[in-house]
A and B are shown apart, each in its own frame.
Chain A
Amino acid sequence: GENVEQHPSTLSVQEGDSAVIKCTYSDSASNYFPWYKQELGKGPQLIIDIRSNVGEKKDQRIAVTLNKTAKHFSLHITETQPEDSAVYFCAASRTGDKIIFGKGTRLHILP
């Protein structure tokens, strides 16, 4: 079955700097890669997703890149702000199958 590894487990960046979270997956048939943000006391919320026919996707300060050959994908957050502090999860799935989550990255934005 699919296995998703996520690094780092904790990340601290100065406000205004960029943050990068990396994930690898094991199943070459995986073709859907969402990212979720979980704030304290709330459920995970989808922030961006990418499908395997696209190498990069951007939405304002958030971007995701996908390298199918290497089986890894990354989340990039630019110009970080205090409200970006949260736990971020990457995930992967193949057509018709369940979504498998990484173990999460706790992002701290330092003032």
Chain B
Amino acid sequence: DTAVSQTPKYLVTQMGNDKSIKCEQNLGHDTMYWYKQDSKKFLKIMFSYNNKELIINETVPNRFSPKSPDKAHLNLHINSLELGDSAVYFCASGTGPNSPLHFGNGTRLTVT
């Protein structure tokens, strides 16, 4: 009965590869997010979707492409991976801006 689940938990890949991270929430929330947490633990929003529609895109390189097939799912595809993409990526959901976020347990991406 996990509320926000993301897969995989760990992802190790080489520079230049393309990879995807999947996220699903069963809380019935309309809004989903992707956050990036760097090695210093700083949490930075990347994207936000409301009912499958992109509402926030925080100047993330266009190698990152989110996709929301329905309001319970938000996937993140990353093309041409770079060393600097190594981080923990968190999916979250909520009822909208200015409301509590429910985070998944993260995907640790390591680019070698």
Contact = CB atoms under 8 A, between A and B. Distances in A.
Given A96-B97, A99-B97, 13 more contacts: A32-B98, A34-B100, A43-B4, A43-B104, A43-B105, A43-B106, A44-B43, A44-B90, A93-B98, A97-B97, A103-B41, A103-B42, A104-B42
Nearest to B48: A98
Contacts of B56: 98
Interface residues of B, number: 21
A111 interface: no
A89 to B, nearest CB: 6
Of B42, B45, B101, chain A has the most CB atoms within 10 Å of the CB of B101
B90 A41 contact: no
Contacts, number: 57
B42 A99 contact: no
Interface residues of A, number: 25
Interface of A: 31-32, 34, 36, 38, 41-46, 49, 87, 89, 93-99, 101, 103-104, 106
B92 interface: yes
A34 B103 CA distance: 14
B56 to A, nearest CB: 6
A39 B13 CA distance: 26
A43 B97 contact: no
A94 B43 contact: no
Contacts of A104: 41-43
Given A43-B92, A94-B98, A95-B98, A89 B105 contact: no
A93 B97 contact: yes
Nearest to B94: A99
Given A98-B45, A103-B40, A103-B41, A41 B98 contact: no
